[in-house]
């Protein structure tokens, strides 16, 4: 009799309870949440918002974080441009004493006209900061980040028996303009919600198969500096060059001389890029103008390399003007735009190794790959602070159908890159691996 009761109890009470307990994994929670997250993803995808204008998106994230039990603060962020409103959202999930881990998503879209042909493609047109109407698209996949971020919050809320401490969920505005993270820190992110012990971020990858995580140990994105150069000359008639100091000819020399920074002055082992992306001068065929304006992007990893390259740009620019006989009072103005600096992203090697081991266990040995660093930029770097004192990892989520990658490779074609009007992640597997990758990483760092 007793045995029969026990069997019955086992079948009707313990078995379902056990299977319920067994379900509590990042995988099963991701699978359970996917249908609802897919609806959220499509909603965000068809309602993209430009950097610094993430009003609707932020409200949606705040609502979703609140539903997971987070204590939510909205309207965070202080920009240099006082006209921009801070749409940062922070959700704090407390679960007793323990470490603090920051989990970040970005929220902004790009001024790109969508050409994916998807049924939920964006038709949004919005005014940019210059007052011009532009098409808007989630061409960088930040919509997939947000869906995975919400899924991670939902999963971790259900896995509270497996971790302790405080998770600070940060939905960051203005990643594409490189100033959103700084705006949040300037608004007291760490003073208000605590300085984290670890910071984690993720990004979809436009040439990595779905189901995969990619990660780089050490530097993964570059320092970015924007430099404005004004080459000043002495203008005059195009027919009397001897009575002028021609800033156009001096600019041409400067551009060529700048190439020697990377090719002759920099240690080839240290990555560096100096690109003159814009040059404007003059109005007419027969007028030698008074000045020429140039805009440069400068990419480096190490801070001493950065300091040296910037000093060399200043020296070479001014030296070319001296060689051309430009009077000292008309020396070029070299302006490194401090508020547009984006620091290099450094994936803490020890933390990266620790997370790679976790992901391999979760997804399989072959699903976690080492990716090459890039000279692109990501302001996720701000969260680890300039001295990298907060260990941080920003990892990649595969977003492309493996068959599509194989097909493009076979035909020798380039896949649509991030920011392309034709790029969109395959939503389900991208979001799913985003949730599993982020949830398992947080559990590793906060486990009981």
Give the binding site for Zn ion (CB under 5 A).
Answer: 140
CA distances from 271 to 192, 219, 226, 303, 382 (A): 37, 11, 17, 12, 20
Q: Are 399 and 366 in contact (CB under 8 A)?
A: no
145/245 with CB nearer Zn ion: 145
Q: Are 331 and 321 in contact (CB under 8 A)?
A: yes
Nearest 5°: CA angle at 118, between 169 and 424? Answer: 45
For residue 423, the SS3 value is coil
Q: How far is the CB of 110 from Zn ion (least distance, A)?
A: 7
Runs of H (alpha helix) within 202-246: none
Q: Are 261 and 249 in contact (CB under 8 A)?
A: no
140/206 with CB nearer Zn ion: 140
Q: How far is the CB of 399 from Zn ion (least distance, A)?
A: 11
140/363 with CB nearer Zn ion: 140
140/148 with CB nearer Zn ion: 140
Q: How far is the CB of 104 from Zn ion (least distance, A)?
A: 12
Q: How far is the CB of 241 from Zn ion (least distance, A)?
A: 45
230/371 with CB nearer Zn ion: 371
Q: How far is the CB of 419 from Zn ion (least distance, A)?
A: 6
Q: Are 302 and 270 in contact (CB under 8 A)?
A: yes
User: Could you tell me the maximum CA-CA distance found in the chain, to the nearest angstrom?
Assistant: 115
- Nearest residue relative to Zn ion (C-beta): 140
Question: Given 3-state DSSP classes, what are the helix, strand and coil percentages for the chain, each rounded to the nearest 5?
Answer: 40, 25, 30
List residues bridging with 392 in a β-sheet: 199
140/435 with CB nearer Zn ion: 140
Q: Are 34 and 155 in contact (CB under 8 A)?
A: no
Q: How far is the CB of 126 from Zn ion (least distance, A)?
A: 17
Q: How far is the CB of 328 from Zn ion (least distance, A)?
A: 42
205/245 with CB nearer Zn ion: 205
252: left (phi over 0), alpha (psi -120 to 50) or beta: alpha
């Amino acid at each position: 009799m007793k045995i029969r009761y026990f069997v019955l109890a086992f079948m009707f009470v313990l078995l379902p309870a056990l299977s319920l307990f067994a379900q509590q994994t990042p995988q099963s929670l991701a699978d359970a949440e996917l249908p609802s997250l897919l609806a959220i993803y499509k909603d965000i995808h068809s309602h993209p918002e430009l950097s610094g204008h993430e009003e609707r998106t932020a409200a949606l994230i705040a609502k979703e974080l609140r539903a997971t039990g987070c204590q939510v603060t909205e309207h965070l962020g202080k920009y240099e441009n006082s006209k921009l409103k801070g749409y940062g959202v922070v959700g704090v999930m407390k679960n007793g004493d323990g470490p603090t881990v920051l989990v970040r998503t970005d929220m902004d879209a790009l001024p790109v006209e969508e050409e994916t042909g998807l049924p939920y493609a964006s038709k949004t047109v919005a005014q940019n900061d210059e007052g011009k109407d532009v098409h808007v698209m989630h061409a960088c996949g930040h919509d997939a980040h947000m869906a995975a971020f919400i899924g991670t919050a939902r999963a971790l809320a259900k896995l509270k028996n497996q971790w302790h401490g405080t998770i600070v969920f940060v939905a960051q505005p203005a990643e594409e303009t490189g100033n959103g993270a700084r705006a949040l820190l300037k608004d007291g992110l760490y003073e208000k919600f605590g300085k984290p012990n670890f910071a984690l971020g993720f990004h979809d990858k436009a040439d990595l198969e779905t189901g995969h995580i990619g990660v780089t140990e050490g530097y993964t994105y570059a320092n970015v500096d924007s430099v404005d150069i004004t080459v000043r000359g002495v203008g005059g008639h195009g027919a009397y060059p001897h009575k002028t100091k021609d800033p156009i000819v001096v600019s041409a020399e400067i551009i060529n001389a700048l190439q020697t920074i990377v090719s002759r002055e920099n240690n080839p082992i240290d990555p560096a890029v100096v690109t003159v992306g814009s040059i404007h001068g003059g109005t007419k065929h027969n007028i030698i103008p008074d000045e020429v304006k140039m805009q440069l992007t400068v990419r480096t990893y190490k801070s001493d390399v950065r300091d040296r390259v910037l000093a060399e740009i200043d020296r070479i620019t001014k030296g070319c003007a001296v060689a051309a006989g430009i009077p000292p009072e008309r020396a070029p103005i070299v302006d490194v735009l401090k508020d547009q600096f984006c620091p290099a992203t450094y994936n803490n090697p020890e933390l990266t190794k620790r997370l790679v081991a976790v992901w391999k266990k979760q997804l399989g040995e072959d699903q976690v790959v080492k990716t090459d660093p890039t000279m692109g930029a990501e302001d996720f770097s701000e969260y680890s602070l300039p001295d990298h004192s907060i260990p941080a990892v920003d990892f990649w989520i595969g977003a492309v159908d493996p068959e599509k990658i194989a097909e493009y490779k076979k035909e020798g074609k380039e896949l649509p890159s991030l920011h392309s009007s034709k790029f969109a992640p395959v939503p389900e597997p991208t979001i799913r691996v985003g949730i599993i990758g982020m949830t398992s990483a947080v559990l590793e760092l906060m486990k009981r």
